[in-house]
Amino acid sequence: MAASQCPRPEKHRYATRHGAETAAYRAQIGVGQILNPYLCQGCGWWHLSKKAADTVPAGAVADPAVVERLVALDDIAFRALAGDEARGQVAMPERIALRSPRLVARWRRALGLIIQDVDTQLSMRRGEKNTDWGRRILAFKTVLDARRAEAGEVLASTEGAAQAEQARLGVERARARQEALAAKKSAAELRALAGDAAIKRLIDAHGLEFSRYLAEECARLGTPLPARVAKYLDQEGEAA
């Protein structure tokens, strides 16, 4: 594509984002003007703009209605959206929605398919790499690669956050289980203690009766009565 097809031919052109960023930084120091690099779809070079950077603000929360609308898109429409987004032709609410947990994996897959398609075109038109078409599509591929890397990072942090949440829930559940177990155990222990105490009180209150029953049961089983019990019954004037 000839430079005349650039919508802003009066602007400086930079071959790389880095070159444009370096120039922007210098300009910023000189005149305090914040400039943001953008990839020109007309000429395939980087220019500087006073408009806001093309990065989506970190921590931006997606509008649920926009997310729903994009979830409902068929694959062809979704892929077209991903391509338009890389060309800078999609509004910020949609751009934020693409980076939301429900869409980021699909966005990344769509970008992968577009990149495959671009690679196919590049291999089919190998001789045209130095043409305007070649320059433009390579510039587009650069943006697509950056977008896919970004999608990968968002996906990793989304999954990381989900895993951290799962881990936190797991720890909470384990603690709750332990507490329930401890409560159950102490209740059983307390019941055993209560049972022991009740038996002791029963024996204290009905010691003679208990000793007689014990003597009867020992006789029935043909086993000698414990000496202590025999002595106790003796003292109480009972025959062993």
Of 33-41, 75-83, 165-173, 188-196, the segment contacting Zn ion by CB under 5 A is: 33-41
The yes or no reply on residue 6 touching Zn ion (CB under 5 A) is yes
Of 3-11, 68-76, 94-102, 230-238, the segment contacting Zn ion by CB under 5 A is: 3-11
Q: How far is the CB of 15 from Zn ion (least distance, A)?
A: 12
Torsion over CA: 5, 9, 14, 17 (sign): negative
**C-beta closer to Zn ion: residue 43 or 233:** 43
**C-beta closer to Zn ion: residue 37 or 83:** 37
Q: How far is the CB of 43 from Zn ion (least distance, A)?
A: 3
Token pair in block for residue 43: 């000429």
Of 19-27, 37-45, 166-174, 207-215, the segment contacting Zn ion by CB under 5 A is: 37-45
Buried b (16+ CB within 10 A) or exposed e, 23-61: bbeeeeeeeeeebbbbbbbbbbbbbbbeeeebebeeeee
Q: How far is the CB of 70 from Zn ion (least distance, A)?
A: 30
Interatomic CA distance for residues 218 and 130, integer angstroms: 109
**C-beta closer to Zn ion: residue 5 or 121:** 5
Restricted to residues 39-98, the positions that interact with Zn ion (CB under 5 A) are 40, 42-43
Asked if 103 and 67 touch (Cβ cutoff 8 Å), the reply is yes
Of 32-40, 82-90, 121-129, 216-224, the segment contacting Zn ion by CB under 5 A is: 32-40
**C-beta closer to Zn ion: residue 45 or 107:** 45
How far from the centroid of its chain's Cα atoms is residue 30's Cα?
43
Beta strand ranges found along 84-221 (DSSP E): none
Interatomic CA distance for residues 213 and 220, integer angstroms: 10
The yes or no reply on residue 20 touching Zn ion (CB under 5 A) is no
Name the DSSP class of 49.
E
Interatomic CA distance for residues 149 and 159, integer angstroms: 15
**C-beta closer to Zn ion: residue 12 or 231:** 12
**C-beta closer to Zn ion: residue 49 or 158:** 49
Q: How far is the CB of 52 from Zn ion (least distance, A)?
A: 19
The yes or no reply on residue 103 touching Zn ion (CB under 5 A) is no
Q: What is the CA radius of gyration of the chain?
A: 40
Helix (H) or strand (E) holding 32: none
Tell me which residues touch Zn ion (CB under 5 A): 6, 40, 42-43
